[in-house]
Amino acid sequence: MLSLIRAVIGRDLRLAMRRQADIVAAMFFFIIVVSLFPLGVGPEPDQLRRLAPGVLWVAALLATMLSLPRLFADDHRDGTLEQLALVPQPLALIVLGKVIAHWLVAGLPLVLLAPVLGIQFDLAGDALAVLTLSLLIGTPALSGIGAIGAALTLGVRGGGVLLSLLVLPLYIPVLIFGAGAVDATVTGLGAQAHLSLLGALALGGVFFAPWPTAAALRVALE
């Protein structure tokens, strides 16, 4: 079973590496959205410091969502997905592999970019560290929950907009605890509680989400 997951991850990563432009585009989307906020609300450092956690997290949500349609769409188009659904192992395991690969390609770059962007918002060192840590813990949940939406909207008219309608409300808890962790550090409350809850969400999301995703894929393949 582990070898299956590893094979799926390896395959998806290899495919993503052949198409690096997609990854880079999502990263620059993240950077641009974050950079728009100071232009919109003004450059006062105090205000920016207060806004930073929310802005970075919302941008991370949007950037993750941007890359979600590709999670299954390409495999669906060329028929690979149907072959994968015929594999004797549970489809959920394959989905898990794809979710992990998606996180490595779409989530991890955001985590690595976040400290740099946080500096733009004049965040202090400990807040930067917590921001990065919260993104590191939280983005797997985004990939997991997002996979459900991606599977549900597979091959559906206006899939991209629909995907955001379905997935963004489900992202709210992750956003709350992720941005809350940074907020709590800034105000001196300590981020422990938020990060623990975020970890719980991520574990729950990555563990449970593949099952409804697999069910939704089977519906889409009918």
Partner 1 sequence: MSNKLINWFRYASPQTFYPLAGRMIPWFWGLAAIFGVAGLGIGFLLAPTDAQQGEGYRIIFLHVPASWMSMFIYLVMAFWAATGLAFNTRLSGMMASALAPTGALFAFLSLWTGALWGKPMWGTWWVWDARLTSELILLFLYIGFIALQAAIDDPRRADKAGAILALVGVVNIPIIYFSVKWWNTLHQGASVSLTKAPSMAAMMLWGMLLCALACWMYSIAVALMRVRVIMLERERHTDWVRALLAGRE
Q: Does 186 bind partner 1 (CB under 8 A)?
A: no
End-to-end CA distance of the chain: 25
Q: What CA–CA distance (Å, rounded) separates 133 from 56?
A: 13
User: Can you say whether the dihedral through the CA atoms of 15, 16, 19, 22 is positive or negative?
Assistant: positive
* Residues in Cβ contact with 54 at an 8 Å cutoff, skipping those fewer than 6 apart: 179
Q: Does 153 bind partner 1 (CB under 8 A)?
A: yes
Of residues 3-32, those binding partner 1 (CB under 8 A): none
Question: If we measure between CA atoms, which residue out of 112, 123, 116 comes closest to residue 183?
Answer: 123
Of residues 198-217, those binding partner 1 (CB under 8 A): 201, 212, 215-216
| Least gap, CB of 164 to partner 1 (angstroms) | 9
Q: Does 176 bind partner 1 (CB under 8 A)?
A: yes
Q: Which stretch binds partner 1 (CB under 8 A): 54-62, 98-106, 111-119, 164-172?
A: 164-172
| Least gap, CB of 18 to partner 1 (angstroms) | 31
Interface residues with partner 1 (CB under 8 A)?
A: 148, 152-153, 156-159, 162, 165-166, 168-170, 172-173, 176-177, 180, 184, 189, 197, 201, 212, 215-216, 219-220, 222
